[in-house]
Amino acid sequence: MRPREPIDHELLDTWMKASAEQEFEHLMGSLEVMVAEQTLARRPRCIGSGRCCSFQSFGHRLYLTGLEAARVMRRTTPPHGHDGDSCPFLEDCSCSIHLARPLGCRMFFCDPGATDWQQQLHETVLGSIKRYHEDMGVPYLYADWLVLAEAYSGRT
């Protein structure tokens, strides 16, 4: 869902604090390993063009939870705005935050052969993150990466 209103600062602070919890880091670390193993096993084709990170022109959007976005921002230097099309972390056709990139970036491949399994993997991963929100009582929002990145960047 794309929020219609600007994201509340209190909510951004809540996610930022919650994203530093050891339990969350443990969950995200294990999900990263699972995604890497499943991707390696299937070997989808990727030429590393960076085209899928230019959302508007590629016809693709990246969505993630506010909590995961906070984790990415905590591990990187906030970007200075974006052009409304590309991810603010795209530099010279490659990802400038490769090790800290969201799980959605690790699971998306334009290879037509990857469509089915990446959808299933995405649902499994999002389900785990959703359960974490419920178990820990963290407010849940699944939103456009550009909106979340901009909300955090605007605070620095």
Contact by Cβ (8 Å): 138, 14: yes
Taking the least distance from each CB to ligand SF4, the nearer of 48 and 137 is: 48
In the beta sheet, which residues pair with residue 95?
Answer: 90
Kindly indicate which of the ranges 20-28, 90-98, 114-122, 133-141 contains the residues binding ligand SF4, using the contact rule CB under 6 A: 90-98
Q: Smallest gap, in angstroms, from Cβ of residue 35 to ligand SF4?
A: 13
Q: Structure tokens of 69?
A: 């976005």
Q: Quick check: 89 binds ligand SF4 (CB under 6 A)?
A: yes
Q: Smallest gap, in angstroms, from Cβ of residue 62 to ligand SF4?
A: 5
Contact by Cβ (8 Å): 144, 4: no
**Other C-beta atoms lying within 10 Å of the C-beta of residue 107:** 20
**Phi/psi-derived region of residue 34, left when phi > 0, alpha when psi is between -120 and 50, beta in every other case:** alpha
Nearest to 71 by CA among 2, 149, 1: 149
Which member of 11, 27, 34, 95 binds ligand SF4 (CB under 6 A)? 95
**Other C-beta atoms lying within 10 Å of the C-beta of residue 83:** 11
Which member of 12, 31, 53, 147 binds ligand SF4 (CB under 6 A)? 53
Q: Smallest gap, in angstroms, from Cβ of residue 135 to ligand SF4?
A: 27
Q: Quick check: 97 binds ligand SF4 (CB under 6 A)?
A: yes
Which member of 16, 67, 73, 87 binds ligand SF4 (CB under 6 A)? 87
Binding residues vs ligand SF4 (CB under 6 A): 53, 62, 87, 89-90, 95, 97, 101-102, 105
